[in-house]
């Protein structure tokens, strides 16, 4: 497994901030930021750049603090945040490229979608059965929140993003089930994907 420290795109952090400001307000954002380490606050107090890379550990601490303050501590509060990120960030991409309105093309390109947000780890499509509308994906990345996407990302954000991708492709419904998790002792995260 790669030992480098990973990064995430500014678009992820910017969309999290927009979601919190839009749903909870400036006071909630300030409360979250003030609970973070000084180095994180310095980054978040500056103007973030959409295409710039930021430490993934910052993202993990931001999500974890958000969940502790505004959620219930089980990371389920991340689901609507992930939905906002996916919709805000991916919908314009799908609108611009008509070829993306095809589950075959999109699922075969999930590695590129992962690389759009993270520079560590990789997502692989193992099984793709268009006739039965079933796919299996694997996320290979370290189980270390200081250098890789965290448990909230693999348990809640990735499934939500995959669902949004399929809905944007024209699926009427989609179900993503995580069957293995690297934070629960597995070698990788495994997702079973079905759609109609």
Are the C-beta atoms of residues 160 and 146 closer than 8 Å to each other? Answer: no
Determine the pLDDT at residue 54: 98
Determine the pLDDT at residue 93: 72
Could you name the CATH architecture of 89-195?
2-Layer Sandwich (3.30)
Determine the pLDDT at residue 170: 84
Determine the pLDDT at residue 28: 98
Taking residues 33-39, what's their average pLDDT? 98
Cα–Cα distance measured from residue 24 to residue 172, given in angstroms and rounded to the nearest whole number: 30
Structure tokens that stand for 125 in this block: 């499509």
Least confident of 86-90, 97-101, 184-188: 97-101
Determine the pLDDT at residue 2: 53
Determine the pLDDT at residue 15: 96
Taking residues 27-53, what's their average pLDDT? 97
Taking residues 57-62, what's their average pLDDT? 98
Are the C-beta atoms of residues 86 and 12 closer than 8 Å to each other? Answer: no
Percent above pLDDT 70 for the chain = 94
Model pTM score:
0.91
Taking residues 165-173, what's their average pLDDT? 88
What are 139's strand-pairing partners?
123, 189
Taking residues 27-55, what's their average pLDDT? 97
pLDDT tens string 8-17:
999 999 999 9
Q: Across all residues in the chain, what is the average pLDDT? A: 92
pLDDT value at 110 more than 90:
no
Domain ranges, ordered by start, for the chain? 7-70, 89-195
What are 194's strand-pairing partners?
134, 175
Give the pLDDT band of residue 106 (cuts 50, 70, 90): confident
pLDDT tens string 124-159:
999 999 899 999 999 999 999 999 999 999 999 999
DSSP labels for the chain? ---SPPEEEHHHHHHHHHHHHHHT-HHHHHHHHHTS-HHHHHHHHSPP-TTSEEEHHHHHHHHHHHHHHHS-SSSTTHHHHHHHHHHHHHHHHHHH-GGGS-HHHHHHTHHHHHHHHBSSSEEEEEEEETTTTEEEEEEE--S-TTTS--HHIIIIIHHHHHHHHHHHTT-S-EEEEEEE-GGGT-SSEEEEEEE-
Cα–Cα distance measured from residue 186 to residue 196, given in angstroms and rounded to the nearest whole number: 29
CA proximity to 193, closest of 122, 113, 98, 125: 125
């Amino acid at each position: 497994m790669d030992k480098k420290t990973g990064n995430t795109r500014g678009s992820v952090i910017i969309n999290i901030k927009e979601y919190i400001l839009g749903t909870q307000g400036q006071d909630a954002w300030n409360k979250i930021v003030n609970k973070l380490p000084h180095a994180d606050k310095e980054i978040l107090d500056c103007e973030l750049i959409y295409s710039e890379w930021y430490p993934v550990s910052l993202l993990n601490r931001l999500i974890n603090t958000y969940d502790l303050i505004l959620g219930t501590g089980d990371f389920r509060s991340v689901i609507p945040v992930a939905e906002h990120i996916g919709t805000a960030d991916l919908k314009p991409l799908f609108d611009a490229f008509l070829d993306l309105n095809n589950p075959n093309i999109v699922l075969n390109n999930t590695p590129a979608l992962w690389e759009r947000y993270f520079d560590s780890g990789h997502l692989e499509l193992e099984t793709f059965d268009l006739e039965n509308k079933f796919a299996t994906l694997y996320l290979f990345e370290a189980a270390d929140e200081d250098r890789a996407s965290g448990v909230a990302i693999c348990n809640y954000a990735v499934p939500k993003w995959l669902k949004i991708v399929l809905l944007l492709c024209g699926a009427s419904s989609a179900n993503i089930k995580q069957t293995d998790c690297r934070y629960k002792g597995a070698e990788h995260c495994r997702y079973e994907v079905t759609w109609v």
